[in-house]
Structure 1
Amino acid sequence: MTKQADAPHDTTPSRTADRTSVRNTARDDADAREFEAYARTQDAAELQAALWASRSHDGLDAAAQAEFRTWLAADASHGPLYEALGHSLDGVRQLPAEHVHALKQGLKVDALQAAATAATSAAPAKPRQRPASPGRRAWLLDLGRLVPQAAMAATAVGVVGGGWLGWDRWRSQPTFEKHYATARGQRLNVDLPDGSTLQLDAATQAEVRLYREHREVRLVGGQAMFIVSSNPAQPFHVLAGAARVVVVGTRFSVRHMPSGIDAGKTTVAVESGRVRVSGAALRGAPGADAGIGIGVGVELGAGQGVTADEAGRLAPVVAVAPGGVAAWRQGRVSFDDTPLAQALAEFERYGDTGLVVRDPAVGAMRLGGSFDLRQVGTFAQALPQLLPVRLERRGAVLEVVGVAGQ
């Protein structure tokens, strides 16, 4: 039986452009529907305040001033809302002049055409070029209906600042937000809506927020493995301590502990792909609008790692041994010239060791090696061979004490 050949795939520029236009149109329509739904959930007085704040910036004629005073007098909350929205628009007004001009020109054309259509509804509508951001412009035109129809075009032009504010506020809202936490000895695999996976170690907390233009995880404390689904249009950010990790798609681990081994520091190790690690000057709350200043960064490939201190300063890049990335996934922990007290604290993250150290000099003794987290008894038995100590029973616990003369 002869297999019929597939039809040739048309890759001419015009067809490619058509397909791109279809995809963009579908995305714009989805944005329009989502933004209109968002606008409907907002307080009408706030939207009107944004409208008046924007119109007032360009000046009001006598009739508009009278209307404005009537609106202010209608409710005691209108004045404070107007002042707050006016201050919020200050940032919008710092946009480059050419951007504002382009927005106003586009809005003016849309508004005039909408007004003309309303005035001559019996006449067939003429096709026109689709706006780049129909959702935002549609919302702006809806705001225009808050005032008389004759002023719609002027309102649409004047509300560009308020429209930008509303659009920007909508874009800044996360589409997914959740806090994850594991208890002592517990591990958790989390499948995120974007196709990425988080593997959380014991005693770990992570805050996940997915935005329309980027993805973000704040590792509050603990350690996690990140398996990131590739999406160049939506970079993946991990914030941990004073460090920021930015990737598109890869596998890497991040450790940040408030106490214990490397307390306050953040360690990143890459299993596959590439990540960029930067020091971050945290000046605000978690989230996309936290005001995070990015410092000097390094790019890591597979088998590489780096540590950032509490101030975001990066140590030299180091090689990570095969299997050394997130070794806790295999139930192992490694120590390298680690104080005994910190080594025991690391074991305690996974369960009760039954070991105590009361002598600071013993707790400061250093050891190294790789150990099975599930074999705490084996670790305890090995201590007298690794360090000048012995184990003494003290009720329900074993105390690690120094050996005199050694």
Structure 2
Amino acid sequence: MSDTRPTEAEHDAITEAAAQWCMRLHEPDCTRRERDAFAVWLNANPLHACEYEAVLDIWEVSTHLPRSAPTEAQVIAPRRSPWQRFAVAAAITLLAAPVAAFSGWQLGWLPNAYERFQAGTSAKTVTLPDGSQVELNLGTQLTFSNYKDERRVTLSKGEAFFKVSHDTAHPFLVQAAEGRVRVTGTQFNVWLYEDQVRVTLLEGSVLVTSNKNLSGDGLRLEPGMQARYKAGDNAAQISQIQTNTQDLAWRNGKLVLDNLSLADALPLINRYLDTPLSLADSATGRLRIGGVFNTREISHLVTTLPKVLPVYLSVSHDGKPVLNPRSTL
């Protein structure tokens, strides 16, 4: 029986191709034809998908590398390459070389622990390498990186409830959209949909900034407070809420809509849908909805809306469902 495993050279070629695809796909001028070609490459061999996932992990680490890259990585940096391309190359080199990786850790450039977590059709609870507990809502994706001077979570999709292991000297950061949450040890919830973020504090205190590139530590939350922001906001909006109501109901598998306008309810609903709903006009968005729904059956809510509200469903030219006002005449 012949050995079909790739040779070392073939494996290196696949890794290189995965890195090139990762860098190209993250560039704004990547074309549809290139994305289609990537899909063909990805499905051509199970090892392609495996290596691409590994490169995505390196990409996430590379976003935190300093602009002044370490000298060990300069030998593989392509000339006239954008920063992110250089960072990926630097990260690949540093993570592959134990001495360089140790230097990167000591200088605060690279983590000594990195893990990716996700929840699909069921919520799950995970323990981070630092001992912190995180509950992941349906369809949630996040990564954890442990740096010398801080612990860093990037929430790329979904919602998570954090019970952070206390360590004053080793702050815990959660990055969501363009903002971040800074804590040392506390319990809080972070909800993310597209570029909208809500941070709800249950215990302890956190500092919330809507843009991690802005100066200052951000706004401080106390228990029972919530911060909301979206991309482009200079500061989060702070409000007092009841933390035992709808914002944490997902931990019991429920979505609570407390007499909300459809415009406000749709992001909460769309968070659980593969194909998001949209509104035909602002008047439709002013209609109000309330109720308690199972987070695993939100698709049933979509078909129910025309029965409880004066709306009907249509399909847009790109195949997405639209809520339209129904004539009362």
TM-score of the superposed pair, with normalisation by structure 1: 0.46
Considering only CA atoms, is the larger Rg found in Structure 1 or Structure 2? Answer: 1
Partner of 1:387: 309
Q: Is the 8 A contact 2:190 2:198 kept in 1?
A: yes
What does the per-residue CA deviation read over 1:48-74, in whole Å, with 9 as the maximum and x for residues that have no partner?
A: xxxxxxxxxxxxxxxxxxxxxxxxxxx
The secondary structure found in structure 2 opposite 1:269 is strand
2-side partners of 1:187 and 1:223: how far apart? 10
Cα separation, partners in 2 of 1:312 and 1:333, compared to 1, 3 Å: farther
* Two-structure CA RMSD over aligned residues (Å): 4.1
Matched, 1:319 2:241: yes
Equivalenced residues, count:
227
TM-score of the superposed pair, with normalisation by structure 2 = 0.56
Superimposed CA distance per residue, residues 280-329 of structure 1 (whole angstroms, 9 cap, x where no aligned partner): 344xxxxxxxxxx4446222122111112323422133223424443211
8 Å contact from structure 2 (residues 112, 147) kept in 1: yes
Amino acid across the alignment from 1:189: T
Structure 2 gap ranges (5+): 1-70, 76-101, 315-320
Distance 1:333 1:326 in 2: 9
1:98-150, Cα deviation, whole Å (9 max, x unpaired): xxxxxxxxxxxxxxxxxxxxxxxxxxxxxxxxxxxxxxxxxxxxxxxxxxxxx
Residues 187-230 of structure 1, C-alpha deviations (whole Å, 9 max, x = no match):
23221121101212222221210123210101122211111111
Counterpart contact for 2:273–2:299, Cα < 8 Å: no
**Whose helix proportion is higher, 1 or 2?**
1
1:191 match: 127
Which whole-Å CA distance do the structure 2 matches of 1:326 and 1:294 have between them?
A: 31
Deviation at 1:250, TM superposition (A): 1.0
Aligned to 1:404: 327
- Residue 362 of structure 1, CA deviation: 7.7
Does residue 270 (structure 1) correspond to residue 201 (structure 2)? The answer is yes
Task: Return the alpha-carbon distance in structure 2 between the equivalents of residues 254 and 356 of structure 1.
Answer: 22
Contact 1:198/1:225 (<8 A) preserved: yes
Residue 367 of structure 1 corresponds to 288
SS in 1 for 2:250: helix
Write the distance in 1 (CA, Å) between the matches of 2:130 and 2:146. 8
Q: Would you say 1:234 and 2:155 are equivalent positions?
A: no
Q: Which has the higher strand share?
A: 2
How far residue 178 of structure 1 moved from its aligned partner, in angstroms, is 1.8
| RCO comparison, higher one (Cα < 8 Å, 6+) | 1
Counterpart position of 1:178 = 115
Matched, 1:246 2:177: no
- In the alignment, the residues of structure 1 paired with residue 197 and residue 313 of structure 2 have an alpha-carbon distance, to the nearest angstrom, of 34
Answer yes or no: is 1:301 the counterpart of 2:222.
yes
**Residue 167 of structure 1: CA displacement?**
7.3
Contact 1:228/1:249, CA 8 A, preserved across alignment = yes
Paired with 1:225 and 1:305, the residues of 2 have a C-alpha distance of 14
- Unaligned 5+ residue runs, structure 1? 1-45, 48-76, 78-164, 259-263, 283-292, 393-397
Distance 2:270 2:237 in 1: 28
CA contact (8 A) 2:225 2:238 kept: no
Q: Is the 8 A contact 1:390 1:403 kept in 2?
A: yes
- Give the % identical residues: 27
